[in-house]
Amino acid sequence: MSQSVCILGVTGSIGQSTLKILQQHPEKYSVFAVTAHSRILELVEICKQYRPKIVVVPANKVAELQQQFQKQDLNHIEILIGEAGLIAVAEHPDVDVVMAAIVGAAGLLPTLAAVKAGKRVLLANKEALVMSGDLMMQAALDYNAQLLPVDSEHNAIFQCLPDGYFQAERNGQPKQGVSRILLTASGGPFLNHSLEQLQNVTPAQACKHPNWSMGQKISVDSATLMNKGLELIEACHLFAISEQFVTVVVHPQSIIHSMVQYVDGSTLAQMGNPDMCTPIAHALAWPERIQTHVPALDLFMNHQLDFQEPDTTRFPALKLARQAMQSGGLAPAILNAANEVAVAAFLNQAIAFTEIPQVVEQTLNQVENSAAESIELILQADRVARSIAQQIVINNGS
């Protein structure tokens, strides 16, 4: 029987890579629902090719979409609207697999809805897990959801962990012979820039990643190393491991996608060409394997593997994220919200690249932390942190 797939964020980089895999395996998967936010023409093209039953767009895009559907004879496709629509498709009874590929906090409620509906959830939207950590993981257990990591590092770690690791106790200690997780980082486009050079980098330069082609927000996060900070928090939650057991390793070639070390001295690594289609295909088909177009690694071509420690003086975002994880409670949600505001401000050229971590740090200092007891509290912290970060951006600019 073919699996019915819902892609949250289909017009994005991960959404497109997901379609590529589904297209290669039409007998295994069908596209049931897709969602978009601003790229309506791209969405219409996707609808022409994949014929989903339902699409979701924000209220201000409905008229444009209806017009396009009329023109293209796609009126049979149901249109749902806004956050309620995103949640409805994520938990829809006819959906087996949800690809959570909306960027940022906007993906939290739909991703959580998919988890609570007991779906197989392919998690790309790391911000959702960073914000809601324990609640999301507990919901996955309570509702029997399969929360599978798509982020390449976490997918690599997942592949290197022993079978059954997820059924084990979630107490922050590594178990089943695991001693440490090595989370690899490419270091981004400015790995060798001085602090002075970093002050003047442009959004276009920040979005040009050396190894990966990704959406704008995660590209900037990769350049500040906040992406690695978010991933550190993501790893702690996914693998129920305290942050002191996760070491970040800069590996500029992005051939090793992360590693797991064991008490007997073994280090297992997952390697491959840097293409998100591999982790997406892995999470989709797990525990089976399916074909992708990604060529196998040619070790005679890619023979250089370098490793170094991250420099948290030039890239303080990583340190801030680690501290937020240590503080716990709402701190990761506050960090994430402030970072989203700061990255948007940098992309709009309202602040300098080096001000991104400053905005995050100042926001963390100004918003009170408390236990992340409910989604409402988390969303409230998100709102408060956004408005304070926005104010800091405005003050910095004046």
Question: Rule CB under 6 A: which residues touch ligand NDP?
Answer: 9-15, 36-39, 101-103, 106, 124-127, 151, 212, 214-218, 276
Which of 216, 327 has the CB closer to ligand NDP?
A: 216
| Cα–Cα nearest to 257, from 281, 274, 232 | 274
Residue 127 is a binding residue for Mg ion (CB under 5 A): no
Residue 127 known to bind ligand: yes
Least spacing, CB of residue 111 vs Mg ion, in Å = 17
CB 135 within 8 A of CB 372: yes
CB 121 within 8 A of CB 111: yes
With b for 16 or more beta-carbon neighbours within 10 A and e for fewer, the 35-68 pattern comes to bbbebbeebbebbeebebbbbbbbeebbeebeeb
Query: Backbone phi, then psi, for 34, in 5-degree steps?
Result: -140, 155
Which of 11, 254 has the CB closer to Mg ion?
A: 254
Distance CA(326)–CA(249), nearest Å, equals: 19
Distance CA(10)–CA(15), nearest Å, equals: 4
Least spacing, CB of residue 390 vs Mg ion, in Å = 27
Say which residues have a Cβ less than 8 Å from residue 285's Cβ, sequence separation at least 6: 28
Partner interacting with residue 270 (select from Mg ion, ligand NDP, none; CB below 5-8 Å by kind)? none
- Which listed range, 21-29, 148-156, 332-340, 370-378, lies at the site for Mg ion (CB under 5 A)? 148-156
Partner interacting with residue 65 (select from ligand NDP, Mg ion, none; CB below 5-8 Å by kind)? none
Residue 28 known to bind ligand: no
Residue 151 is a binding residue for Mg ion (CB under 5 A): yes
Residue 396 known to bind ligand: no
Query: Backbone phi, then psi, for 184, in 5-degree steps?
Result: -85, 150
Say which residues have a Cβ less than 8 Å from residue 244's Cβ, sequence separation at least 6: none
Interface with Mg ion (CB under 5 A):
151-153
Q: Which residues are annotated as a binding site?
A: 11-14, 125-127, 151-153, 186, 209, 215, 222, 227-228, 231
Binding residues for 1-deoxy-D-xylulose 5-phosphate: 126, 152-153, 186, 209, 222, 227-228, 231
The annotated binding site for NADPH is made up of 11-14, 125, 127, 215
